[in-house]
Chains A and B, each alone.
Chain A
Amino acid sequence: MGLHSRMNRPSVIGMTMVVLALLAAGWVRTIEPTIISAPESEGEALPILEPMQLLRVGGEERLAELDILVDLNRRVAFADTRLDLLDLDGCPPLGDWIRGPRGLAFEQTVAALSRGSRTEALAALALVFQLARTTEWAPGVFGGAQAPERLGGLLSVWLDRWGEDAMDDAQLYEPTLAAVLLYGHVMNVAFKSGMFETSVVSRERAQANLTRYAGEQGERRSALGIALNTRFPGALASAVTDGDLSGFTRETELIFPELNGECGQ
């Protein structure tokens, strides 16, 4: 019998393994990439239907729906703050308003809600968006970066708490992406704080925060980073790599044209 016609058991096993490896080499090429989409609500009815409506123009009409969903301890504060925002007219400067008694109460309420349940977190974010819509925070020709920085700070605190956790929540997923978008835009406004000056620290802070939210320090992105990269790839890449926040401004101008720092005017 010839040398290589003898097939002992280990050889047969080895050949089988090789064939399986070849088949596996073909099979692995069929593995589809994970599709990134908003999480499903797993059959439960969401407490808030269409949560993005709360952040868009007209959202103030639905803010009252949240009253009964906010914890009893914070319900009154939330209702008061909501009504304060509804009463705002004439597009007051954000910097002035937020230093006043109603502004301070607003900040306290937003902070308390942000530490609460997911629905309360959504309520807090809706309040911040409403504030951004009804106050003036664009610096103008000779303005400074303080007002947009203050607004950016509110968004940043909210994102620090909820940014990553919201990615598996059907109710908070889209609002969180919107919050990052607005944060990038607001900080870009802070950076271009006037015709003749720029606030480099604002840009650097925004770059650092966005890099942290996206999990770009390591190569493995965070869930929020993956969602952002799927939704706003160019804006995120420019911000993280070059500190260029203009992509967020362009996206915001498309999605929330009224959030221009001048009450949509």
Chain B
Amino acid sequence: MNVHVEREEAGERSSADQLLVACAMIGVGGILLGLQRQADGNFCGTGFASLGMGAVIALLPMLFALVSGSSAAKPMLPHTRLAALSSLVGFAGLTFVASGVLVPGGPWMFIEALILLLVLSRRGREGEIAGVRISHGTVIWLALFLFARLWVTYQGVQNEWAAVSFDVPLLSSLPWVPASMQVVSLGDFTAAEFGIPAQGLHFSHTVALWAVGLAFCVGGLWWRHRAGVECENDRVHETIHRLPPAYASLVELILPEDEWRELGLHGLNERQRRKRLAQLTQERVVRQVEFNRAFLAGRPAIDEGSPAFVNDIHQVIESYSPPALPAPSTSDVSKP
């Protein structure tokens, strides 16, 4: 049955629709992350500096994915207009997220970007976020930078143009000591560097905009990734179901859907997908035949006092009932 028909009957949204909604979420998130609210209630933009730096940072994991050995981690070639748009939006989404956590300008932005580039280039325990492999350490750094951005923005709103200021003990209590000697400030910045307008920012509204924007972008990236995988699975499913129904069922039995991505069936055009399916089916059938042959050739007897692990495996293997094999003289299926 056609995938569209199946989903419509189940009252579900198609993977293509989900992909579109996810892309729209990223777009809306990008709009919100690009805005800040001034103290007079008007809106102004956050500028292009951090967006450009975010794009550079978003490019790095993509380059790593390109040179990655794993076929599943490699970016897929978009074969439809929707897939092409999704790829573009994926890159834009990562750019928005990176620009959303970086401070918007000045030397601090370069320091943060340098740290992110170093962290991203290190090998570590990796996870997958939105289809891009990012280590847990990178996520922590991103969270720290987001906190730093909010903190310095808050400081700027308070007209405190330093990340940290503290009174010098004793000196601060002496009225004749110059004010510049009474306070030590670390991490000075200017309003222009951080894009804070002269009249100040409406802090809570601005933070709310950025928080919702980040949530939309991160949520959209996650959804886009899942919908993208589902879209590709639908394409594989449709190709398989061009076979006669009995064959299609058999192919799906030996090539389970949750392995399609790992098996490199995603990101292929129709011709490549058919070839890959045929190749994989042959490999799996040959493996099955070899297993049956080995099974029928004889199994060792198990002693009473064998370890539990041996007994478990023995029971599983003995529960298998192989089909009758044709005569082994046929050599056409023995070669991979």
Task: Please give the residue numbers on chain A whose beta carbons come within 8 Å of chain B beta carbons, in ascending order.
Answer: 2-5, 7, 11, 14-15, 17-22, 24-26, 28-36, 219-221, 223, 225-226, 229-230, 233-234, 236-237, 241, 246
Contacts and interface: CB of A to CB of B under 8 A. Distances in A.
Contact of A33 (B17, B44, B89, B96): B44
B80 A18 contact: no
Given A219-B39, A226-B40, A34 B27 contact: no
Given A2-B238, A11-B20, A229-B159, A34 B40 contact: yes
B200 A18 contact: no
B16 A226 contact: no
B82 A233 contact: no
A36 to B, nearest CB: 5
Contact of B81 (A7, A31, A220, A223): A7
Contacts of A223: 40
A28 B158 contact: no
A4 B80 CA distance: 6
A21 B24 CA distance: 7
Given A3-B3, A219-B203, A15 B39 contact: no
A70 to B, nearest CB: 33
Interface in B134-159: 158-159
Interface in B12-40: 16-17, 20-21, 23-24, 26-28, 30-31, 33-35, 38-40
Contacts of A7: 81-82
Nearest to A15: B85
Mostly, the A contact residues are helix
Interface of B: 3-4, 16-17, 20-21, 23-24, 26-28, 30-31, 33-35, 38-48, 51, 79-83, 85, 88-89, 92, 96, 158-160, 179, 197-200, 202-205, 231, 234-235, 238, 270
B181 to A, nearest CB: 15
Contact of B23 (A5, A18, A24, A234): A18
13 contacts: A4-B80, A7-B81, A11-B20, A15-B82, A21-B30, A25-B33, A25-B96, A29-B48, A33-B197, A35-B198, A219-B203, A226-B40, A230-B199
In this complex, which of A34, A233, A237 has the most chain B Cβ atoms within 10 angstroms of its Cβ? A34
Contacts of A237: 158-160
A32 to B, nearest CB: 6
A26 B34 contact: yes
Given A5-B80, A30-B48, 6 more contacts: A4-B79, A18-B24, A25-B34, A26-B51, A28-B45, A33-B197
A170 B91 CA distance: 49
A223 B158 CA distance: 17
A241 B45 contact: no
Contacts of A219: 39, 202-205
Given A4-B83, A223-B40, A229 B235 contact: no
